[in-house]
Chain A
Amino acid sequence: MENNMSGNRKVIVFQLGEEEYAVSVQQVSSIERLMPITRVPQTADFVKGVINLRGVVTPVIDLRLRFGMEETPYSDSNRIIIVILENMEVGLVVDAANDVIDIPESEIEPTPEVIGTVDTKYIEGVAKLENRLLILLNMQKVLTEEEIEELKSVEG
């Protein structure tokens, strides 16, 4: 980790509905505008398909659907955040990408028990900054196969 100051975490902040989420910059390789997505048949609902990311075929998932939120039509403000995690490169469709900020480690609190609709397993903690509440995501959990399998079986 290249924390410039000890105890600070650099994160990318993005929006899903009314809530703001954060993911560590180390896991993000780029932020892209929406581009044509090719649907891949017979995959989970939240898998929107694949895109051509500068010559590399990259799968894209809709985070809203992944978190069980309502699907909304895409607009100009939508972004695809490309995250890299253990050999996996995946694009996440989010409502908007807002900010890059440093969160002091001391401001991060464990997940409160009740936090809306999102399954708490994906959440590493919450950080309170002035009057913003950032939800820190555990990308590992968001992307792991087990979770997807689990979801599939619930759906199916």
Chain B
Amino acid sequence: MDTSGYLTVFIDESNEHLEVLYNQLLALEKNPQEKAIIEEIFRAAHTLKGMSATMGYQDLANLTHKLENVFDGIKEGRLNVQSEMIDILFSAVDYLHEMVEDVASGGSGSKDVTDIVEQLKSLEQGDVLPQDSVPLNTLKQAKTNGTQMKNVDEFALTILQESKERGYTNYEIIITLNQNCLLKGARVFMIFEVLEKLGEIIKSEPSVTELEEEQFDQTFTVLFISEYKKEIIQTNIEKVSEIESVHIVPFNVDQIQETEQTLEKSEEQPQPKDGQQGKQRHANGIANKTIRVNIDRLDVLMNLFEELVVDRGRLEQLAAELDNKDLQDTVEHMSRVSNDLQSIILTMRMVPIEQVFNRFPRMIRQVARELNKQVEVEVIGADTELDRTVIDEIGDPLVHLIRNAIDHGIESKEERINKGKPEYGTLKLEAYHSGNHVFIEIVDDGAGIHKDKVIKKAISKGVLSESQAELLSDQQVFELIMSSGFSTADQVSDISGRGVGLDVVKNTIESLGGKIAIDSKEGQGTVFSIQLPLTLSIISVLLIELQKEKYAIPLSSIIETAIVHKDDVMHAHHTKVIDFRGKVVPLAFLNDIFNVQQMIEADKDSYLSIVIVKKGNKMVGLVVDSFIGQQEVVLKSLGNYLTNTFAISGATILGDGEVALIIDSNALVK
């Protein structure tokens, strides 16, 4: 069977199931008795097994099968959840993850799983009951599927009775869909259409609505009245594709009584299964309907939309010139619609930070175990939304900060007990919106930053002189740990502390247009606070003019604009400076830096227009010819050809269709 078309669906869904496995395993470690968690894990493992078997990834299917067996053991109370067991389960899931990754990158998804399979086996055999209880259980389920339809109400019975008297035949048709049938609802619809031509459907189980909403496994049953023969119905149904099997048995009304009795007997048995179904249905009800869209397509959509905006600008201008009321009304309406469209396109690119946060609890657990520390994780605001591009970039810096917090921040268990702190260290990840920014905070209740140690280190590394050190505020001292070549850990460990790290984190965040701040109290813990722009693709800029050329300066780096008389410019050792609110600010003449052709005599004007920008706590005044105004623009890259452009971070397309370059003021601040 050609499965290539389903590959992306398979990968996406597998990753989702793996995520469920990871998260639920973590939850299970905390609440080993919680049935709902085990059910959830079991379901994820089961689906994954089914999918990978269908797609032909045998190793993947084998491993998941073993995993499933262990969970089955837990579920039935044969096995007890312990830390070691969770470890093995985690590494099994890691294996699965690697295999799925392999498949995603074009590999065959095969991997030597004998070790982990052995481990799982021994886990599984730690039970008292014989092993073959598993297949037995599935057998029972299959049996229930085979029994006749239950819960036929009186009304249906009467119809069945009547039709029988009139010479029609009553059938019970059990239809099983192909396991990799993607649009089950549609198949059901097609089957129903076929059936309705041949006779009348009295009842279906699950109900028609449930079938349409795909809330069933693979099999469903219908009660059907028809004048046709069994064989004809059979062949007609089989014309619909993706059907695994069709079972048609005559339905005997008299048998109903009997079935009801058996039903009562089996009532106790399928209870967990019912509970599971109920929950699933519940979950489906809440989940919004979504489709997956390739991010590239959204980018294209965005580009096209921008083109539309440019045209809109022209139309508005034309309408104003022509002074036709109808035209103006139409254009105005179009503008409003396109504004709505813009906000929708922008929100489409937003994804919850959950995507990044989700992988942390597992990582934290692992790191903490490696370092023999005990860490509790608290995640707040995982539903905070950020632009996709930011999400993609922010993962690595966060990983680094978290590792750093566990390694350097949180103390070992003994140390914590000595200090009278709770045995478990707490690591809090918090994300929230504020204004046009998203804040992410990583808070630990560990040892905090040892101020003197940092200063000593800085002096020994020559970053700082002793007299300078006296003048530094706490904040400035903390910021030292993010300068390059700095690590305060006494021992270089595997986790962090190679001397490169926090400076990389700082750079990455700054390149995203964000900021990072540290606050710490010795003995009480440290807070890393990251401020990020909501979106990278749309930024607020100040448009300025250099002769005839237009440039944009991101508002995020601007402190303020000023107009200064030429006589107020002072000279300090070859540099022109101004006195700005009591501070000496050097000037950078953009016309010179960007080699702009001088067409207008600049000397005529006795005032200078200056944009004061900052980088950290340093400032520079950029001298421009004139300010145009503030605008929201779409940030675009200059492409792969022009990579190392000096002091230009990108470009944007203005309303008139021309390209304006965006100035990277960080490069201009020395």
User: A residues engaging B (CB < 8 A)?
Assistant: 36, 38-43, 47, 49-52, 54-59, 87-90, 143, 145
Contacts and interface: CB of A to CB of B under 8 A. Distances in A.
20 contacts: A36-B658, A38-B549, A38-B658, A41-B593, A41-B595, A41-B596, A42-B594, A42-B645, A43-B642, A51-B659, A52-B653, A52-B657, A57-B651, A57-B653, A59-B639, A59-B641, A88-B640, A88-B641, A90-B641, A145-B643
A47 B642 CA distance: 9
Contacts of A47: 642
Q: Which of A47, A55, A87 has the most CB of B within 10 A?
A: A55
A87 to B, nearest CB: 5
A123 to B, nearest CB: 20
A45 B650 CA distance: 19
B307 A89 contact: no
Interface string B535-579: 000000000000001000000000000000000000000000000
Interface of A, helix, strand, loop or mixed by DSSP: strand
A40 B653 CA distance: 14
A56 B648 contact: no
Given A41-B594, A41-B648, A55 B307 contact: yes
B194 interface: no
B660 interface: yes
B318 to A, nearest CB: 19
A155 B639 CA distance: 24
B642 A50 contact: yes
B549 A42 contact: no
Nearest to A90: B641
Nearest to B642: A59
Contacts of A39: 549
Given A38-B660, A52-B653, A57 B638 contact: yes
A38 B659 contact: yes
Can you list the 8 inter-chain pairs with the closest CB atoms, starting with the nearest?
A: A41-B594, A55-B303, A38-B659, A42-B646, A57-B651, A57-B636, A88-B640, A59-B641
Contacts, number: 78
Nearest to B660: A38
B661 interface: yes
Nearest to A149: B644
A50 to B, nearest CB: 5
Interface residues of B, number: 29
Contacts of A41: 593-596, 645-648, 661
A87 B643 CA distance: 13
Contacts of A145: 643
Nearest to B634: A55
B645 to A, nearest CB: 6
Contacts of B594: 41-42
Contacts of B643: 145
A57 B641 contact: no
Given A40-B648, A42-B646, A56-B303, A90 B660 contact: no
Contacts of A88: 639-641
A89 B641 CA distance: 7
B306 interface: yes
Contacts of A89: 639-641
Contacts of A40: 638, 642, 645, 648, 661
B641 A54 contact: no
Given A38-B661, A42-B646, 9 more contacts: A36-B657, A36-B658, A40-B661, A41-B645, A50-B642, A50-B651, A52-B657, A55-B653, A88-B639
A62 to B, nearest CB: 14
A50 B303 contact: no
A51 B659 CA distance: 6
Contacts of A52: 653, 657-659
A147 to B, nearest CB: 12
Contacts of A54: 303, 307
A93 B86 CA distance: 64
A106 to B, nearest CB: 34
B643 to A, nearest CB: 8
B304 interface: yes
B569 to A, nearest CB: 23
A49 B653 CA distance: 14
A87 B640 contact: yes
Interface string B363-388: 00000000000000000000000000
